[in-house]
Structure 1
Amino acid sequence: MSLLILGIESSCDETGVALVRSTGGVAVPTLLAHALHSQIEMHQAYGGVVPELASRDHIRRVLPLTEAVLAESGQRLADVDVVAYTRGPGLAGALLVGAGVACALGAALGKPVLGVHHLEGHLLSPFLSADPPEFPFVALLVSGGHTQLMRVDGVGRYELLGETIDDAAGEAFDKSAKLMGLGYPGGPALSRLAEQGSATAFKLPRPLLHSGNLDFSFAGLKTAVLTQAKKLGDALEARKADLAASTEAAIVDVLVKKTLTALKQTGLQRVVVAGGVGANRHLRAQLNAACAQNQVRVHYPELHLCTDNGAMIAMAAAMRLQAGQQTANRDYAFDVKPRWPLDALAS
């Protein structure tokens, strides 16, 4: 049965809306249109996301974006069969905007609604790409405050292999960038600067690299960057690119080697990388080289779908419905889950 699914993402500082067509069976759902508004410019003055401002901006953006997506796809609002939204994790106020709008639309249309896990959206986002993966695979999920390795045997069939015990990779990028005075958002700025520096200029730690498990810890790396920056003093400005490159190399080294260990432990020959850090060029280059050497297939979402977006929410909803993992409902009372472990979805 064909379903037209409207997806709304509002978990943090980006408002995303998309339409996905699901034809049922094993066919991968098709993205018809999507639109995204980033709040980066608004939050730059504060050096980070201000939750109240984020929520207010979602309110302003979500309906105009919905109208734009409908116009681009040539569909009518009345044609929508299911309205999906991000239920969590994320900022409570921001999540409530998307959930409230989605449930209001569902009630007005008399159509069912479906709350989606934000991280599952990232996890399944590579199915939107031109080279979608096949199950099973190892997933490296590197999104904001989350760094996790999962074994994925199907939609909703997830086994947590390892996760961050303090700062995630994205936080390590952002906090290190802030220590270097690179502003917000720090991760992309650090990566751009790193292209001009030497990755071997400074010897920085690779936390938990030889821990014997698949957990991550990047707080110690952040402290090492702070210590090095203080040692450099007035010379920091001249060596900033080298420090950025060395920091990026340390983070990427841990991510790549832990992913290869996960592949070896599970015996799988396919890996999926998802989340905002998955757009990092150095990570992609290093992982591609390592996977090619080990005859492992690696899949990524398209670059513009690595960060938060409505397409991944609509896709996750479509795939859960196709797999019979969840049923959309007409109970328009809603709640949100600012903290919601992904492995809680495992069947």
Structure 2
Amino acid sequence: AFHAKYGGIVPEIASRRHAALLSAAVDDALTRANVELRELDGIAVTAGPGLIGSLVVGVAAAKALAFATGLPLYAVNHLHGHIFAAFIERDEPPPYPFLALLVSGGHSQLVEVHSPTNLRIIGKTRDDAAGEAYDKTARLLDLPFPGGPALDALARDGDPKAIAFPRHRPDPGTLDLSFSGLKTSVRYFLDSDAGKNARREDVAASFQAAVVDVLIDRVERALDAREYRALVLSGGVAANSALQSAFVALGRRRRIPAFVPEPRFCTDNAAMIAAAAERRGDAACVDARTLVADPNLSFV
């Protein structure tokens, strides 16, 4: 909400707000959990990837807490956090091996997860991520920031079959994704005579249907290639109502459990970082003296 007036995240402002609010956020979390800092089992922090300014603020704070308390420090990949968000507050978490569809503003990936420390990307976007396509299409439709939820809400009153936007699928032999062509198609349509007379609700619904169709198609192809014991939907776009419905329906159709995090755990949050650290254990434990933030941290 703070960044809405800018139409998007401003990195410098984001890092300054992180620095200003982080101490109070830690105090609030401890108060709500009714625990003392010294009672914790460790300190988990996002080491990357992401905006370097915000990462540096978080890593510096986590290192300071670890030094002050003597608690172990766990460095977590932001994307791993999204995947393990599906484990939060569940009596029966997803069984291994499972297939994760990770869809966010910066990433769109299919990930094969054999254990908390054995993850492999089997498909990824070759250009724009799905969340990026959502945000850019939302701007074309003059929707407020954040664009994804606004477009999802608008699409509920539209006809998903009103406009035949393309469903681009890269080489048949891969599970890769591509959304740049769809984004361009929406822009050209809105500039056309037909687009100028089209209902925004129909444009939003038709765009969303194209994105969901492509994502579900990739998951189905992965399921055709090998067996998994569960499906996991993760990332900020996992909060999208149309994608959630299609993902759960796919699980029912293929008779495989489909796990979707609660909406509050879909977007970036600290709980998912703690969940990933807990499951990765010693593999995530690092020396606080040498940990540095890495905006381009590799997935594995």
TM-score bracket relative to the smaller structure:
over 0.9
Confirm whether residue 202 of structure 1 aligns to residue 150 of structure 2.
no
2:102 corresponds to which of 141, 144, 148: 141
Residue 181 of structure 1 corresponds to which residue in structure 2?
Answer: 142
Distance in 2, Cα, partners of 1:232 & 1:153: 51
Q: Aligned in 2, Cα 1:234/1:214: closer, same or farther, shift over 3 Å?
A: closer
Please state whether the residue corresponding to 1:227 is helix, strand or coil.
Answer: helix
Confirm whether residue 94 of structure 1 aligns to residue 60 of structure 2.
no
1:175-209 CA-partner distances (Å, limit 9, x unpaired): 11111111211111111000010000001001116
Confirm whether residue 327 of structure 1 aligns to residue 285 of structure 2.
yes
Confirm whether residue 193 of structure 1 aligns to residue 148 of structure 2.
no
Q: Aligned in 2, Cα 1:226/1:167: closer, same or farther, shift over 3 Å?
A: same
**Higher percent of residues as helix:** 2
Please state whether the residue corresponding to 2:186 is helix, strand or coil.
Answer: helix
1:68 corresponds to which of 17, 24, 28: 28
Amino acid at match of 1:286: A
**Alignment TM-score, normalising by the size of structure 2:** 0.95
> How much has 1:232 moved relative to structure 2?
3.9
> How much has 1:239 moved relative to structure 2?
1.0
> How much has 1:134 moved relative to structure 2?
1.0
Q: Aligned in 2, Cα 1:247/1:327: closer, same or farther, shift over 3 Å?
A: same
Residue 341 of structure 1 corresponds to which residue in structure 2?
Answer: 298
Tell me whether 125-134 or 196-205 shows the greater mean CA deviation: 125-134
Amino acid at match of 1:340: L
> How much has 1:233 moved relative to structure 2?
7.2
Identity %: 41
Alignment of 1:193-232 (within 5 A): 193-208=154-169, 211-232=172-193
2:228 corresponds to which of 263, 268, 292: 268
Please state whether the residue corresponding to 1:268 is helix, strand or coil.
Answer: coil
Distance in 2, Cα, partners of 1:107 & 1:214: 44
Distance in 2, Cα, partners of 1:269 & 1:107: 41
For structure 1, the residue ranges without an aligned partner over 5 or more in a row are: 1-40
Please state whether the residue corresponding to 2:144 is helix, strand or coil.
Answer: coil
Distance in 1, Cα, partners of 2:207 & 2:171: 18
Amino acid at match of 1:341: S
> How much has 1:224 moved relative to structure 2?
0.2
1:46-84 CA-partner distances (Å, limit 9, x unpaired): 211100000011111111111111111111112223111
Residue 239 of structure 1 corresponds to which residue in structure 2?
Answer: 199
**Alignment TM-score, normalising by the size of structure 1:** 0.83
Distance in 2, Cα, partners of 1:308 & 1:77: 23
Amino acid at match of 2:231: V
1:310 corresponds to which of 264, 270, 273: 270
Distance in 1, Cα, partners of 2:121 & 2:41: 33
Residue 16 of structure 1 corresponds to which residue in structure 2?
Answer: none
Does the aligned pair in 1 maintain the 2:189–2:195 contact within 8 Å? no
Q: Aligned in 2, Cα 1:210/1:234: closer, same or farther, shift over 3 Å?
A: closer
Amino acid at match of 1:302: E
For structure 2, the residue ranges without an aligned partner over 5 or more in a row are: none
Does the aligned pair in 2 maintain the 1:194–1:245 contact within 8 Å? yes
Amino acid at match of 1:158: L
Please state whether the residue corresponding to 2:190 is helix, strand or coil.
Answer: helix
Confirm whether residue 162 of structure 1 aligns to residue 123 of structure 2.
yes
Distance in 2, Cα, partners of 1:207 & 1:340: 28
Confirm whether residue 287 of structure 1 aligns to residue 247 of structure 2.
yes
1:218-243 CA-partner distances (Å, limit 9, x unpaired): 0000000000100147835x511100
Instruction: Tell me the C-alpha RMSD between the 2 structures.
Output: 1.6
> How much has 1:153 moved relative to structure 2?
0.4
> How much has 1:274 moved relative to structure 2?
0.6
